[in-house]
Amino acid sequence: MSRYLQNLVVIGVTFWTPYGTADNASFSVDQADIGAQKYAEHCAVCHGSDMRGIHLSPPLVGERFDQSWRGKPVSALAFHVQRMPVAAPNSLSAETYTNLLAFILKANGLPQGKALPNGQAELDRLHIPPLPGDTTDPYAPVAHSSTQSELLQNLSIISDATVANPSADDWIRWGNTSNGTNFSKLAQINRENIVRLQPAWRAPLRSGANMSAPLVHQGIMYLHTYPDTVLAMEASTGQVLWRYAHPGSSRSSAKMGIGLHAGKVLVPTSDLRLLALNAKDGTLIWNHAIDTRAPAATGRAQYQLRTAPLVVGDKVIQGVTASFMPKGGFIVAVDINSGEERWRFDSIARPGEPGGETWNNLPIEKRSGGSVWHQGTYDAELNLVYFGIAPTYDTGPLLHELDAANVSNAALYTNCTVAINPDTGELVWFYQHMPNDQWDLDWAFERQIVSIPIDGKPRKVVMNTGKMAVLEALDARTGEYLFSIDPGVQNVITAIDPETGAKTIDPEKMPSPDRPTTICPTALGARSWPPTSFSTQTGLAYLPLFEMCMLLSDKGSALLTSGVRISAADHPDAQDGKLARLPAVDLANKRLAWTHDQVAPISTGLLTTAGGLLFSGDVEPSLKAFNDKTGELLWQSPLSAAPTAGLMTYRVDGVQYLAVMVGVANLHVGSLSRTYSEITDKPESMPLPTRLTTRQIPTNAEIWAFSLAE
């Protein structure tokens, strides 16, 4: 089994080559000659005998080839060649497609030499060189066609009314809508025709640490890429419409996404700034430096912006992480028109203020953590925003409660759901799911706002699922505890009070370097940041779970300060080698509806649609679709690299697309991929970045879009 917890910190990337270290493509004379014959037989009717294109079929030589393919991996061109002929994509032999590639490369002046390989992995490692004297410039200006210019100019402004009643064609917020359920009303792709789903386009991206999911509005896709770069793309083709690269000095940290509102793209950066870009052309409107009001970070201490901004009215609301930073994390709101700060909420309770007595009498300079690193959600009817707050890594001073009156070690507001007035930043209510978290098993993820029947009546609830995979529901208006559902992958909590939600902890699971103990799940979580999904059609919540445990002892990685170190341990339910569990939770009846187990860990968020489908991606690497009512696997497709981030769907010109990011580096997908490689004992056969360590960078980051074959 894996020992992947040896490195718990992703090493920042300080270099970049367009698609990693690669050799120039070459081909043999025989390949090019045979390719010329096959071109005349299969391709000339559409692209012309001179390869310069006919009608809608693009040229395969000259300026169009140079703009489209120079500086990119051969596999990117191969993907499109293999979609031909149009009437029968992928119908030719692998050798024929390779020969066609060789002919196209020869026609564009590439030199002959070593034979072009057939395999996808080998083609990933070859690239089409730029023209002599040219360089691959990721910041190069983007030229628009007249149609693309019209698409940008006709873009409407996303208003509060748009957010309240969004088009099903669009995906304008992280989680799709303000309630964060990752459910789409689109049903063009459904259970009956899912077998016809196939790749529609692929677009290469710069490789590096990230976890961002795209947004789509009126046929334009907006995407945060490494390093601190925003792309606007034609959502039906993947063609770049504009690009903005932030000239920050910090190493680029992984982001979950961006925001769209009022004609602006709202962007968090690695140097702790919020940017507003013009959604039509990417020009900078304002640049706000977040005042941390704390000394410069040293050692393990750092601030970061990880989550996508949440826009409510004229406020852009951003969470701030604060690993080991004195005074902890916070949530800040800035004016959407000027970028000026309007309010902030401190996620670590201050001495002398409500909750201040829950930190074992530590001065504020000795309190840290409380990171706000996951997406918030918004309820317009109640005018409340909901965020989850992480625990602290400095657990040593909180391990034992002081023998002092009116003092506890609960550590507010860690592991809390907080409901905040978005106009003022005032805390309206909070609920602490787990006081004094000594295991880094936080409850920091998305808070989904749903209506479910309770005692026979519909009730609006805020639900979330933490690292222990325990789903909890609270009344959205008051924060009253309603219920918990435990899928059974954790061993820390032995009982949950049905009235208050208070947890009984197994005393043997409290950390002590003198008493090794196995904790399930691992500190990476039975679930991590990839989002869950809730379907309004089935009333089921879907969770992407990973079955792995950790050993707290005097050996391993030093993440916490209680004196224990962390190393990996096997999960008792994973003895069959199936590390992934995909349960559907029946909220109305407070039970599991069905569970699907598989070997390959799920590395994406989940997506449900009105077509009766549940989508997930895993480190096999593949994309899968299930019947959302039964869990039956209906369809799967291989991917070029492990997928990551959230899945999303949208519609352009009557065509529904499904989009997924692949080959993007982050701690979550790296750890899952290494574990999978080790248990399957096939590390050399796994495509990159499946067998990466946290110190390596994937070479084939891309975004894939799928649609139905005609």
- Nearest 5°: CA angle at 65, between 61 and 71? 135
End-to-end CA distance of the chain: 44
455, 504, 448: which is closest to 471 by C-alpha?
448
Q: Is the pLDDT of residue 199 over 60?
A: yes
pLDDT recorded at residue 56:
56
Q: Is the pLDDT of residue 411 over 80?
A: yes
Segments in 112-182 forming alpha helices (H): 120-124, 146-153, 160-164
- Do residues 343 and 331 lie in contact, with contact meaning Cβ atoms separated by under 8 Å? no
Give residue-wise pLDDT tens across range 670-702.
888 888 877 775 444 433 333 333 333 344 788
pLDDT recorded at residue 23:
81
Confidence of residue 488 (pLDDT cuts 50, 70, 90): very high
More confident residue, 62 or 174: 174
CA dihedral 442, 447, 451, 457 (to 10 degrees): 40
Name the pTM for this structure: 0.83
More confident residue, 88 or 187: 187
Of the CA atoms within 13 Å of residue 55, those in its CB half-sphere come to 3
Of the CA atoms within 13 Å of residue 29, those in its CB half-sphere come to 0
Structure tokens at 133: 């004297």
Give residue-wise pLDDT tens across range 45-87.
788 888 877 755 677 887 667 767 777 788 878 877 887 776 6
What secondary structure does DSSP assign to 630-688, as a single string? T--EEEEEE-SS-EEEEEEEEEETTEEEEEEEES-B-HHHHHHHHHHHHHHT-GGGSPT
Segment 392-416 mean pLDDT: 95
pLDDT recorded at residue 515:
93
Look up tokens 């083709």; give the residue.
Answer: 237
- Do residues 229 and 238 lie in contact, with contact meaning Cβ atoms separated by under 8 Å? no
DSSP secondary structure code for residue 105 in this structure: H
More confident residue, 418 or 145: 418
pLDDT recorded at residue 192:
98
Structure tokens at 672: 């899952």
pLDDT recorded at residue 86:
64
**How far is the C-alpha of 520 from the C-alpha of 532, rounded, in Å?**
20
Q: Which domains does the chain have, with CATH numbers?
A: 23-137 (1.10.760.10)
- Nearest 5°: CA angle at 374, between 354 and 231? 140
Least confident of 35-39, 328-332, 431-435, 665-669: 665-669
- List, in sequence order, every residue forming a beta bridge with 376; answer none if it has no partner: none
Peptide bond into 698 cis (omega under 30): no
Give residue-wise pLDDT tens across range 498-508.
999 999 999 99
Q: Is the pLDDT of residue 327 over 70?
A: yes
